[in-house]
Structures are given as structure tokens and as C-alpha cells.
Amino acid sequence: MSNKISLDQCRSNGHLRSLPKGEYTVEYNDSTHCEQDEWVGLAKLQVSAITLKLGEEGTEQFYTLEKNISGLSKYPAKSGGLAKSIRFIEDSLSLALARAGLLTPNISDELLDDILRLASQDGIVIVPDTNALHNGSVHWLLKVLRRPAIWLLPLAASLTTVQMRDATIKALVNQKKPTNIGQALRSRGLVNGALGLLQRNRSRSQVVELDPSLLRYQKTASSSGSDPDQSDVLEDRLIIEAIQSVLRTMRSRTPRRVVTSDVNVARVLEAEGIETLFIPTIQIGDSSVECLRYDPIARMFLGAPLSALLWELAHGFGSIRLRRAGDTVAHLDCYWPGKTPSHWSKEILDCNFSEPIADIPTSIETPSPASETVQPADVSEKSNASGDAPANDAPNQHVTPSNEDETQNTTTVVDGSVGPSRPRSKPKTGPILPRASLPAAMKILGVLMEMGQAQPQEIVAAIPDVNTTDTVKRALELLQKAELVQQNEEFAPTADANTVATALEKGDLDTVSRFFNRFEPYAIVQQELQREGRLEKGAVLKLLTDRLGKVGKDEANRLPKYHILLGQAWTMESSIMDGSNRLTDRDAAKAFEISFANTQNEGLAKVYELLMNFCQNNSISPWVAKSQIERLIVEEHLSGFKFESSAGAKPVTRDEVLVGNLTNLASTPIIVDRFHIGERPVLTIGGPAQ
């Protein structure tokens, strides 16, 4: 039965998650050069019975892919048509795998150095050329640059090229013939790859308009050769001139990079003084590709579930089917009559599934990068092309194992390869939402660090205000899920516990929060807040139930308190607001001016109203915003405003955050109606002199 669904709906319905192990083939059909019943082979898949629990993404099967292009009997080898057709298909397959995240570029030492510098920034502006929008370069950057906020500034000229390619596809459909294969596949990949990227990232992208004076290049270029992939000097010049125009008008000090895979464009841009990231075009090669790999720059495991791979292939090739032993398991169509813009923006496909039932799978454990099974190389030695991230980078949000039995056989992924099965004892971690308060868990961690190792009853005896072993066990359960505690014969802190203790003492709650992102329910709520900006308090239970299965209501409602205590969220009436964003001082000063303009009345603004507006507009916690604004005032970055001290009534508070250290921890309310500058509070702000 035909079923028009999005990728998220496909996964939530359980499709392509429990296939029988064995060999599968992936084939495509494209109406521009294939007959209706003609299918061309793309790849072979080896699907394993092993399952991966990909953090908040749920359980997926492990698979490997190997290119296997076949079924091109129309093209006689003596004419050279067969070799060209294979090259066109292989190129399109490579780009689709790169967009899906299964392939990465071979990067030089210079590019690695620049990437690592950018990884430490607060924000980056990326100006991609046309090819970078669809060949996986920008997709890869968005995956590995985890810390900085990234803004995309695609050029209107690039979108004009996309429109032209879309028109090309429509024309080729009406003139079906085998020789259309090159233009058709490259055009489909460009149109759907580029627009899909921009639609998924529309909240952080802005199309840069074309200077009318540059249209002379486009008019001339549009009449150039018939192969749309042949480089054209005038088209390249159009892109370069547009980039120059954009960068000249930008006043921000945020690092800016043009991203391209065109050697000539990169050379010209560098010669004209424009900082450029040249990312080589990604190729599949002859080796098999695994669905999961450790990325040393992102410091986490990256990959794509089978459903995401087939979704990307369908957008790149038109129609895809997955077969096993001559039977079609899944058939995905990207095009159908009456497809609407809403269908495109949600990346909905027309799907048919006939999935056989798999045997009960074996679970797979993928270790954290800090464990003994994965040892990334030191960046300073540059022992490999992809390098490693700085030591002070965020802790990984790594893949977590399925947890069913206390002892089971597990298979470990080491450097992207599946290692031998071995027995491993696993701690009982109980319900997926531990029934523990965060402050209590942190205090218990502090006591355990002082003791070195202990049993729960020994910890109870060491803490006067804890009188039950169950309370300690619940806290240890949470700390195990965050990998701050490990259990052998006794419980003991991990090395990461020292990092958390130091960060907490410095008031660096962001670092503490990154460690708790290892706890899957915490990460789910965090990412939902970052994606939507807010979450109704009553919606937390449904969110977690949809993603994890049945969970306790009380535990689900308690969970956002963790984010609030760690400065990643805050409350506004019945909503939980995202507070995880962080601004540079320059951006914070500009945001302050905007919030003042939004809340002032006759040149005066109340601190409470301004601060709430500032936090809501910028997805930043009042805990962070207030501290940063007070520092900007002291350092005279806001010297145009008047901050008059005055006596105030009882302070207005909102939420609480953790303060202190593991041995002396407390939660303190955030005062949101005043700034503390000097001895007396500031409750109102005067605007800049006119």
C-alpha cells in the first residue's frame, strides 16, 4: 500500500529497523533515462543482526555498503557510453552518501588546522558556492562543528542555478533517452540536495541577493555549453563577484569562510584575499562503507540509519528500491503527480514496505572516545588527515548501548570496524528515567570522589541528610548513565567526574550539561528545546514516550528541572524555554540594544522586561544573560545607556541554578528584576542620548 510519509514518520513507525540479516541490493529508476520497469543496480548492503542504540535516535541495525553498479546493458562498451554512465552513477552515489554522513572528505593539514580553529569559535558565517550546497561539504561541516553557531549565506545566483537545473530535469523527462543519464543525475542531486539542506537549516540561513550589475555574467553564462557541470569562467566570476559584494557589506567580526570544492574558484578567492575552505569532492572508492564511524573532529560517532540513507538516495536518483533474494523490501519514490511544496519541505516520499520479520537481534555497544577501545590521535601530531578536536572541546554525545541483560555478548565498534564478540558484564541501570534529583546526585558524586570507591550503604553513612540506600542507588543510576560513575565490585568515580567537579566549582554549568547529554532523555529534551525554542511543560511526557517508549509521568515532568538547574533552560508561564544559546560580547551588546528598543517607554526600560525580552529573543538563560550584561556594563561596552542605582522592593526571582562545588552545593534563585552594579541595584535603564 502506498504511504506518503516523512523520514521521521518512517522511523517512528519502525520501518527498516528490524530486517533479517543478510545481503540486500539497492537499485534505482529514473524516468529521464529508464523505462518504467528498468532498474539499475547501485550498491550491495550487508545488514547485520547487530543493533545500535544511537543516543536519542533509537535503535538501528548495523550495515555496510559496497557500490555495485549494474544493469546498464543499453550502453555498449566500445562507444565509451558504459564507462561514462558508470562514472555518472558513481559520482551521484558518492555525493548522496556524503550528504547522508557516511562519507567524509580527505582533508589536508592546512584545512584541518582551520577547521579546529573554527571549532573553538562562538559563531561562523559560511558562504557556500553552488557545488558546496549539494556535494556534502556543508553537510559535513554542520556535523563536525558542534560548538559554534553557524549561519549560512547562500547566494541568489546559486538558487538561480538550482532553478535552471530543475527546469532541465522537467525537459529531460519529456525527452526520455539513455544519454540523459549524466545531466539528469547531476541535476537531481543539485536541486534536491541543495534545497533540502537549506530547508532543514532555514532558521539559520539567509539568501544573499544578487547585485543587478552582475547579471551580465549570468545572461552570458546561461547560453554556454550544454553540459551543466562543465565549469564556465563567467559563471565562476559571477559567484566570486557576489561573494566579494557580500563580504564587503558585512560588519560582524564573526569568522567568515567561503566553502568550495572547485580548485580554480578557491585559488582565485585566495588571491583576492578571501578566506576559503577548500573541501575536496568526496568519492566512495572501492572499499565498503560502514554505517557508523568515529569522527575525531566532532569527538563522537557519526553515521546514518538505513532509512536516512535510502531517503537521501531517493532524492538523488528519483526512485529507489531495496531488495533481498529477489523480493522488494522497500520502494521509495521522490516524485508523484500532485506533490506540493509542503511535501518537499517535509521531505515526504511515496513509500511501499514489505519487510520480513527479523530474528531477535544482538545488541552492539559502541564505546565512548575516552574508553580504552578508541584512542584518537593527538591533533598536534597530525597522525591522520582528519585529525582530532582540541582537548577542551565539548565532551562527546556518544552512542549508548542497548541495555537488556546484566551479562551479554557484545560486539564493539573500534575505529569504525566491528570487532570480535566477547562477554561483558553490564551494570543494572533500571528504569530509563532515574528517580533522583540532580543536586542530590551531584552531592553523592562529591562524597564518592572523597571516598574513592564505596557501596551505597557506605555512602548513606557518610551523608547525614541521606537516610535511605534507595536514594543513593537512584543517584548512582543517573551518574552511571552520564558516565561519571562506574561499577565493578564497588562504585567509583570516572575520570570525567574530575572535569565535572572543576567545571562546577568555576560556575561553568555549560560543561556540566554537556556531560549529562550522554543521558539519553536529557539529550532528547535539550535538542527539542533547541529545535523548537520552547516546550510546553505538559508535552515532556509525550515527547519522551514517543522517543523512548513508556516512561513514568513524575520522572518525565521532573527531567526539565535538570536543564534549568544547569542553565540550559528557563520557564515562562507554562512553557520551558530554550536557554542553551551563548552570544559573543559583540552580539550580546547588539541584542541588548534591540531588547531596549522593544521594551522602552519614553526612553526608559525596566530591567525585568528587558531581560525577559533579551532571553526570549536569543534563546539564552537568564542566569547567563544577566551575568554577561552586568560584565558588559562594568567593562563599558554599553556606555551609551544610563544605569541609575536605586533602592528596590523585594527581588523578583525566576528558576534556580546550581552554585558551589560538589562538597558544598546549593541551588540559588536568579534575580531577574535588577542588575547588580556596585553597592545598589539597577532597576531601570535610560536610553542613549539623542
99 by Cβ neighbours in 10 Å (0-12 / 13-18 / 19+) ranks as buried
| Domain locations along the chain | 1-51+59-103+288-355, 105-216+234-281, 438-572, 583-686
Residue 329 has pLDDT above 90, yes or no: yes
Query: What amino acid is encoded at 226 in this protein?
Result: S
Beta bridge mates, 531: none
What pLDDT sits at residue 395?
Answer: 38
Question: Residue 250 corresponds to which cell in the numbers above?
Answer: 558585512
Query: What pLDDT, in 10s, does the model give residues 412-437?
Result: 333 333 333 333 333 333 346 767 88
Contacts 24+ apart (CB under 8 A), 682-685: 682/607, 682/643, 682/644, 682/645, 682/646, 683/606, 683/607, 683/646, 683/648, 684/604, 684/605, 684/606, 684/607, 684/644, 684/646, 685/596, 685/604, 685/605, 685/606, 685/607, 685/610, 685/641, 685/642, 685/643
For the chain, the 3-state helix, strand and coil shares in percent, each to the nearest 5, are: 40, 25, 35
Query: What amino acid is encoded at 262 in this protein?
Result: D
Residue 559 contacts by C-beta under 8 Å, 6 or more apart in sequence? 433, 521, 522, 525, 540, 544
Other C-beta atoms closer than 10 Å to the C-beta of 36 total 7
Query: How many DSSP H helices and E strands does the chain contain?
Result: 23, 29
Question: Which CATH number is correct for 583-686, 2.60.40, 3.30.450, 1.10.3470, 1.10.10?
Answer: 1.10.10
Give, rounded to a whole angstrom, the gap between the first and last alpha carbons of the chain.
Answer: 68
Query: What pLDDT, in 10s, does the model give residues 425-471?
Result: 333 333 467 678 898 899 999 999 999 999 988 888 888 776 678 88
| Separation of alpha carbons 489 and 497, rounded Å | 19
Residue 72 has pLDDT above 70, yes or no: yes
Residue 267 has pLDDT above 60, yes or no: yes
Q: Is 179 helix (H, G, I), strand (E, B) or coil?
A: helix
Residue 202 contacts by C-beta under 8 Å, 6 or more apart in sequence? none
Question: Residue 433 corresponds to which cell in the numbers above?
Answer: 528515567
Question: Which CATH number is correct for 105-216+234-281, 3.40.50.2020, 3.40.50.1010, 3.10.20.600, 3.30.930.10?
Answer: 3.40.50.1010
Q: DSSP assignment of 558-613, as one string?
A: HTHHHHHHTTSEEEETTEEEE-B----HHHHHHHHHHHHHHH-BTTEEEHHHHHHH
Contact 292, 301 (CB under 8 A): yes
Q: Identify the band that residue 509 occupies on the pLDDT scale cut at 50, 70 and 90.
A: very high
Contact 675, 607 (CB under 8 A): yes
Query: What pLDDT, in 10s, does the model give residues 375-426?
Result: 333 333 333 333 333 333 333 333 333 333 333 333 333 333 333 333 333 3
Query: What pLDDT, in 10s, does the model give residues 96-146?
Result: 999 999 999 988 888 888 998 898 888 888 888 888 999 999 999 999 988
Contact 440, 479 (CB under 8 A): no
Element (DSSP H or E) covering residue 541 = helix 540-548
Q: Identify the band that residue 75 occupies on the pLDDT scale cut at 50, 70 and 90.
A: low
**pTM flag (> 0.75):** no
Residue 519 has pLDDT above 50, yes or no: yes
Contact 160, 309 (CB under 8 A): no
Residue 160 contacts by C-beta under 8 Å, 6 or more apart in sequence? 210, 218
